[in-house]
């Protein structure tokens, strides 16, 4: 028998002999004396002097048999509906400190109100600090998506699997994530270029695949319901059945299920999950599907295919994320900035290269004479004949369409990415750094980039 078992056995035996009266739950009561996991032990019992004597005796016995010492100053006594006079007497008697709820057990704030914002402060702070430490670094849009998901993965999952996040907290978290995503590499402008609900969609559905913390929260909470459906008894299930009745296990439809007013806030949240997702079929997968459907804009079939395909490319994620932003026409072209009142110059919308033309993204990437030259030169290089279509997504389709097989199609998609990226870099260079906008140089850049990505990522000999 190991040393921890000594304590557990002691408590059980004392319970059997009625020397220690545990905490009983329900009308056909199930009695709890203690909870133990790893180094954390909770002894739970009624308020009585006999219980204190027994507890002291068991702990002393534990010390004598195991040779371990109970650190009373690391132990705390917590009373729920217990007169304070009794509590201070008990603390003196057991030689431990007086604690109160909420207290931490296994890292979870026990007795904390999930609806109170202060319960969530540590988590929100944690997220904010993690993301802020990266804020001033030069990270591309694609890289920032990775960061957001990584930070979300690193936060304590048991928090989200036990407490239901209030809308207010969720909004706070989203604001932090959004500011980080669009924070601007130079820390400057803070335009939210694409709606958050779109950003959170899967990549192949036109989003960036940012994980929504509320979805994570709801699916983790739903797992409790899933576990109630699954076979096997365990203590937590027995406690819930004793408290709320037998109907809560092996029961899929909870729509007619009412919880007592005295139910804990945790249980109320678990019971109310159906309302959150407006669905009777609440299995974890369908919860996610349902929520996704609600935020999903109806993308045209064509657009759907493009968004599915743009990510299947050996181009770096920062480049693909840029193309993604461009397809939504949400990049800081002059016309886009003017719509958002971000420019105050004389002719804020005008293309730098040609008088009187609006610098829209179609102009900049397709119809600007120098951009046209770049495209035709790239097509010549690829050995294809293409008439420039009116939009970038059409160009994507046409270019991909002329590829003879899957491999060549992927190559063409990568070159589409490389060309857009190089055009944008050249445009920025000519505006911000007095660089030259030279089609020949841009085409060379496209070739170099494509070869680099191709060789680096595909690990097959280039055949283009
Ligand atoms: Zn122009």
Predicted confidence at residue 298, as pLDDT, reads 43
Tell me, rounded to whole angstroms, the distance of Cα 70 from its chain centroid: 41
- Radius of gyration (Cα) for the chain, nearest Å? 31
Q: What is the pTM of this model?
A: 0.66
CA 377 to ligand 1 centroid distance, Å: 18
CA 189 to ligand 1 centroid distance, Å: 24
Q: What does the pLDDT profile of the chain (464 residues) look like in tens digits? A: 566 677 778 888 888 888 888 888 887 778 888 887 767 788 888 888 888 989 888 888 888 887 888 777 778 889 888 898 999 999 888 888 888 888 888 777 888 888 888 888 888 888 888 888 876 677 888 888 888 888 877 776 778 888 888 989 989 888 888 888 887 444 455 677 888 888 888 888 888 888 888 888 888 888 888 788 777 778 888 888 888 887 777 666 666 667 788 888 888 888 877 666 544 444 444 444 444 443 344 456 667 778 888 988 889 989 999 999 999 888 888 888 877 766 556 667 788 888 888 889 999 999 999 999 999 999 999 998 888 888 888 899 889 888 889 889 999 999 999 999 999 999 999 888 777 889 999 999 999 999 999 888 656 554 54
Cα dihedral 356→362→365→370 (10° resolution): -40
Predicted confidence at residue 283, as pLDDT, reads 47
CB-CB neighbours of 318 under 10 Å:
16
Specify whether the CB–CB gap between 30 and 238 falls below 8 A. Answer: yes
Predicted confidence at residue 150, as pLDDT, reads 83
Query: In 297-405, where does DSSP find H-type helix?
Result: 301-310, 317-327, 334-339, 361-362, 369-382, 392-401
CA 359 to ligand 1 centroid distance, Å: 6
CA 62 to ligand 1 centroid distance, Å: 84
**Which residues crowd ion ligand 1, with CB under 5 Å?**
351, 353-354, 357, 368
CA 423 to ligand 1 centroid distance, Å: 12
Predicted confidence at residue 291, as pLDDT, reads 42
């Amino acid at each position: 028998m190991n040393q921890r078992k000594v304590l557990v056995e002691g408590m059980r035996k004392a319970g059997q002999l009625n020397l220690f009266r545990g905490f009983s739950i329900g009308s056909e009561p199930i009695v709890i004396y203690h909870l133990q996991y790893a180094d954390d032990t909770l002894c739970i019992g009624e308020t009585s002097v006999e219980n204190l004597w027994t507890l002291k005796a068991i702990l002393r016995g534990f010390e004598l048999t195991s040779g371990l010492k109970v650190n009373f100053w690391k132990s705390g006594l917590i009373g729920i509906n217990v007169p304070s006079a009794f509590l201070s007497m008990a603390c003196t008697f057991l030689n431990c400190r007086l604690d109160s709820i909420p207290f931490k057990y296994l890292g979870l704030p026990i007795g904390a109100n999930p609806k109170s914002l202060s319960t969530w402060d540590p988590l929100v702070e944690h997220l904010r600090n993690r993301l802020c430490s990266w804020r001033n670094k030069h990270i591309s849009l694609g890289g920032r998506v990775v960061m957001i998901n990584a930070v979300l993965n690193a936060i304590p999952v048991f928090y989200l699997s036990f407490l239901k996040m209030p809308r207010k907290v969720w909004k706070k978290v989203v604001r932090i994530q959004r500011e980080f995503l669009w924070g601007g590499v130079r820390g400057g402008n803070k335009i939210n270029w694409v709606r958050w609900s779109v950003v959170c969609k899967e990549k192949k559905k036109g989003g960036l695949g940012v994980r929504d913390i509320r979805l994570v929260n709801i699916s983790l909470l739903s797992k409790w319901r899933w576990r109630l459906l699954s076979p096997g008894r365990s203590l937590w299930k027995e406690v819930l059945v004793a408290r709320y009745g037998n109907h809560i296990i092996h029961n899929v439809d909870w729509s007619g299920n009412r919880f007592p007013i005295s139910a804990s806030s945790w249980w109320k949240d678990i019971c109310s999950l159906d309302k959150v997702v407006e669905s009777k079929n609440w299995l974890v997968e369908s919860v996610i599907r349902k929520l996704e459907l609600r935020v999903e804009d109806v993308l045209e079939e064509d657009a759907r295919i493009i968004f599915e395909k743009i990510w299947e490319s050996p181009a770096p994620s920062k480049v693909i994320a840029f193309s993604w932003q461009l397809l939504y026409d949400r990049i800081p072209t002059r016309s886009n900035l003017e719509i958002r009142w971000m420019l105050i110059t004389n002719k804020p919308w005008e293309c730098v290269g040609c008088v009187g033309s609006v610098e829209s993204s179609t102009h900049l990437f397709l119809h600007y004479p120098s951009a046209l030259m770049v495209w035709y030169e790239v097509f010549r290089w690829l050995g294809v004949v293409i008439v420039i279509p009116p939009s970038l997504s059409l160009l994507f389709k046409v270019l991909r369409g002329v590829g003879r097989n899957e491999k060549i199609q992927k190559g063409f998609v990568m070159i589409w990415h490389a060309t857009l990226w190089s055009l944008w870099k050249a445009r920025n260079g000519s505006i911000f750094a007095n660089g030259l906008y030279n089609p020949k140089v841009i085409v060379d850049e496209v070739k170099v980039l494509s070869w680099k990505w191709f060789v680096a990522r595909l690990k097959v000999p280039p055949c283009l």
